[in-house]
Structure 1
Amino acid sequence: MNSWNFVGIIAWIIVIALLIFVVFNIRNRHLKILVEQKKKITWTTIVTDLVEILVVILAVSGLLYTSLFTKVDLTDKNEVAVSYKYDPMIVQTTDDGQGYYVKINKKESNSTTEVYQYWLNNSTYTVSSHNATISDATLPFTVSGIRLDWPVKKIKKLDSKYQYAYVITVQAKFKNNFRNGLGLRAGRYAMEYRVLRVPARSFINVAK
């Protein structure tokens, strides 16, 4: 485990200890009023109880939000480190001799998700359209739904080098800092996305 994530572990220990303290504090205070002092619970006691409970709820909610519900800003260089990898694809041929780089497997796809298959160094890779997109080189380079500073100049050079047939793999990793440690995600991967670059739509094989 990344050492920065101990910040989050310590924070949860403190919150759990606070919860236990509040439960026993409320119980003991009520017993003291009812049993020892033989008085009735007043509004002052109830307000004090509510304040303590509210503090615990806010602490738990804050940690849960930081750990589970915070959206990742991939453009925030203080939060994530983004890296790019480029691999040339290997051409495949259909039974009638048509060359292609990416195959869309309709049998494994559904109404909302497509399954892409491609080849690198004679190895087969399969990826969901949730984590990848096909980029037609006859169109301007765009990737919808992913906010990133794409290295367009580098991509243009690789278009020429690999003849528009390669895979861009982008990985975003949470940096080692207090904020990510508090969310128990320091050093973990935030996202991996692939852009399957093809020369034209005719280099896509749709297998039914």
Structure 2
Amino acid sequence: MSSWNFVGIIAWIIVIALLIFVVFNIRNRHLKILVVKKGKITGATILMDFVEILVVIFAVSGMLYTSLFTKVDLTDKSEVAVSYKYDPMIVQTTNDGQGYYVKIDKKESNTATDVYQYWINNSTFTVSSRNATISDATLPFTVSGMHLDWPMKKIKKADSKYQDAYVITVRAKYKNNFINGLGLKANRYAMEYRVLRVPARSFINVEK
């Protein structure tokens, strides 16, 4: 774990300590008014309670938002480091001798997602269409929904080197800085996505 994440741990300790302090402070203040001073709870006391509770709500909400609900900006180089890896796929053949690089297994798929299967270094890999897409090399290179600065020069070199049959693995990792540490994300992976590059749609085997 990155040492920057201790910023978030310390922040959570402070927030929890603040919550405990407010609970006991409200309780003790009310007991002092009712038992010691034999008085009544006034509007000023309720206002003070409200202010303290509001501070705790803002503190907890801010930490929850920073830790769980912020969306990563893949184009923000101060927030994440993006890396690209290129691995050649191995051709497979159907029973009738048709070559393919990617198999879409409809038995494992559902109405919302497909399951892609491909082969690298004699190993089989399976990935959901939620985390991958198939790119037909006969068409312009596009990946919908992924706002990234795609390294087109390297992709064109990989097209030539691997004959349009390879996998681009994109990984985004949170950088070590104060904001990411506050959200307990420093040095952790924010996203992993794969682009399955095939020479043409005919190199996809749809198994039903």
Q: TM-score, normalised by structure 2?
A: 0.99
Query: 1:168: which partner in 2?
Result: 168
Q: Distance in 2 between matches of 1:24 and 1:96?
A: 76
User: By how many angstroms is 1:18 displaced?
Assistant: 0.4
Deviations 1:76-117 (CA, angstroms, capped at 9, x unpaired): 111110000001111111111111000000110010110000
1:35 Cα shift? Answer: 1.3
Does 2:67 align with 1:67? yes
Moved more, 23-32 or 54-63: 23-32
Q: How many angstroms apart in 1 are the aligned matches of 2:168 and 2:80?
A: 18
Q: How far apart are the structure 2 equivalents of 1:141 and 1:5?
A: 37
- C-alpha separation in 2, matches of 1:25 and 1:125: 57
**Counterpart amino acid of residue 130 in structure 2:** H
Residues 31-180 of structure 1: pairs in structure 2 closer than 5 A:
31-180=31-180
Q: Name the CA distance, whole Å, in 2 between partners of 1:162 and 1:101.
A: 12
Deviation of 1:158 (Å):
1.2
Displacement after TM superposition at 1:34 (Å): 1.1
Structure 2: distance between partners of 1:122 and 1:39: 81
2:43 maps to a residue whose letter is: W
Residue aligning to 2:24: 24
1:10 paired to 2:10: yes
Runs (4+) of structure 1 exceeding 6 A deviation are none
Q: Give the Cα–Cα distance (whole angstroms) in 1 for the partners of residues 134 and 119 of structure 2.
A: 14
Gaps of 5+ in 2: none
Find out whether 1:202 has 2:207 as its counterpart.
no
**Which amino acid in the other structure matches residue 141 of structure 2?**
F
1:165 Cα deviation after fit = 0.5
Secondary structure of the 2:4 match is helix
Amino acid aligned to 2:134: I
**Partner amino acid for 1:66?**
T
Cα distance in 1, alignment partners of residues 141 and 19 from structure 2:
52
How many residues end up aligned between the 2 structures? 208
RMSD: 0.7
- Cα distance in structure 2, aligned partners of 1:120 and 1:23: 58
Quote the Cα distance in structure 1 between the aligned partners of 2:32 and 2:94.
83
Secondary structure of the equivalent of 2:41? coil
Specify the code of the residue in structure 2 equivalent to 1:115.
Answer: V
CA apart distance, 1:146? 1.1
Structure 1 unaligned residues grouped into runs of 5+: none
